[in-house]
Amino acid sequence: MEQLVSFAWLGVALILGKLLRGWIPALKRAFIPSSIIGGLSLLLIGPEVLGRVAPGIPPLVTATSVAIWSTIPGFLINIVFAALFLGKVIPGLKEIWGKAGPQVAFSHTIAWGQYVVGFAVTAVLLVPLFGVEPMFGALIEIGFIGGHGTAAGLGQTFADLGWPQGQDLALGVATIGVLMGVLTGIVLVNWGVKRGYTRAVRTEAEAEEDIEAAGEEHDTTESEIAPHGESDNPKSTVQIESMEPMTFHLAYIGASIGIGALLLRGLVLLESLLLEPLGAPELLAHVPLFPLAMVGGIIVQKIHSRFFPGDLDRVMVLRLQGSALDLLIVSALASLALSAIADAWLPLLVLVVSGITWTVACFVFFAPRMMQDYWFERGIGDFGQSLGVTATGLLLMRIVDPRSQTPAFESFGYKQLLFEPLLGGGLFTAMSVPLVFAFGLVPMLVVCSAIMVIWIVIGMLLGRQRRTR
C-alpha cells in the first residue's frame, strides 16, 4: 500500500508543478521545469521541512514514502541513459568532426575546466578551511552538466565511498545550475544582442519576444538537434504486430541496460583478476551502471540497424526517456536531505560561484575564438548545457535562433555524439568520484588540467583555420 501511495504522490506533485508554473509568472519566466517544482513541493510538505518547522503537525508525506522515493532515481537513470542513442542515426567520426569539431573542443574545454576549477578550489580553500571531502571538487561537473539525473544516479557510489551526503550536495548544485543557467543565459543573450554578436536576432525587442515565446510550454523536436538529413529523409519505422509499440521500445531499453550490466560485470572481473593483484585500487566496483547502459544502447542500435528492417521510433524513445527523467527528478528532490546542504552551505556556495564564473568566462573568451561562424548561437547552447543540462542549452538556442536559421541546432546534435559518452553523465563523470577517492585531488587536478589544455589548443587551432579560410 505504501508503494502505491508514494507513486500517487509523485503524480500529484507533477500535476501540481504544472499548475504552479502556470499560476506563478516568475516560475514560468525562469523556465523552471514542472518536475523540479513538484519535487520541491513534496520536500516542503515532508519530514525534512514541515516535520522540522512544525514538529507538532504530522507531515503530509511520511518518512516511509521518502525512503521509497530515494530508491527510484538509481533505477530510472539507467533508462534515461540507455535511451540516449536508441533510434538515432550515428554518423562517422569524420562527419561529426567536420560539422562540429570546434563545438566539441569548446564543450570539452568547459567540462574539463569545471573539474580543474573544482579540484583546485577544493584543494586550496575548501579542504584546509572547511575540512570537506576531497570528492567535493567533482560536484561542479556532476551537478551542472550531469544534472539531477546524474547526481541522483551516483547516490550509491557516494554511499559506497563513505560520503552519502555527496548525492544531496550534487542535487543542490544541479538545482542551482538549472536556475542560474537560464538567468545568466538570458543576461548573456541581451548582452550579445546589444553588442551585435547575434545573427538571427538583431534587436532587443526581438530578443524579448523570443524569450516570451520560449516561455510557452513546448516539446523539443528531434529535428532540432538531429544531424542534418535525419529529419529530412526519415527511415520507415519498424513494423510491430505482436506487442504494443511502447512495450517493444521499452524492451530495447531493457536489453541496452542488460548489455551494460554485462559489460560492467566483465570490467569489474577483469579489474579484480588483472589489476588488483598488482596493487591497483578498486575503481570499477564503485562505478554505477548508467554510463555502461548508454554504451549498451549504442550496441543495441548498431545491431538493430544491421539486422532488422525499419528504424526504431525515436519519438517513442524520447517519450519513454522523458517520462523516466521527470519521475527521477521529482523523486530525487522529494527525498533530498536538506541537513547535508545546510551543513556545507558556505563551501558549496564558493564551489558554485567558482563554477559559474569559469563557465561564463569560457563563453565570453573561448567561444568567439573557437567557433568563427555563428559563434554566439552555437556557444550559447553549450553554455546552457554546461550550467543547466541539455534542455537549458536548447532553450537558449531557441531564443537566439527561433527559426533555426543558423547551424547551431545541427552542430549541437553532432557535438553530443563526441561529448555525452564521456562527460555530462558519461564514463568519466561516473568514474570521477572513485578516481578522486583512490588517487587524491592533486593527481586528478594535474590530469584534468592537461586534458583541458589539449582541448583549448585544439579549439584555438580549429578557430584559426576557419578564420583563415
Distance (Å, whole) CA 84 – CA 325: 12
Radius of gyration of the chain (CA): 22
Per-residue model confidence as pLDDT tens for the chain (469 residues): 778 888 898 999 999 988 988 888 877 776 778 888 888 888 888 887 877 777 667 767 888 888 888 888 888 888 988 888 888 877 778 888 887 888 899 999 999 999 999 999 999 999 999 989 999 999 999 999 888 888 888 888 898 888 989 888 998 898 888 888 888 888 888 888 887 877 766 555 555 555 566 555 444 444 444 444 344 344 556 556 667 888 888 999 999 999 999 998 998 898 888 877 777 777 777 788 888 888 899 899 988 888 877 788 888 888 898 888 889 888 888 887 787 788 888 999 999 999 999 999 999 999 898 887 888 888 888 898 888 777 778 778 888 777 777 778 878 888 888 888 888 888 898 899 999 998 999 999 999 999 999 999 999 998 877 655 5
Cα distances (angstroms) measured from residue 80 to each of 223, 327, 401, 452: 19, 11, 27, 28
Which residues are bridge partners to 311 per DSSP?
237
Largest CA distance in the chain: 72
H/E stretch holding 167 reads helix 165-195
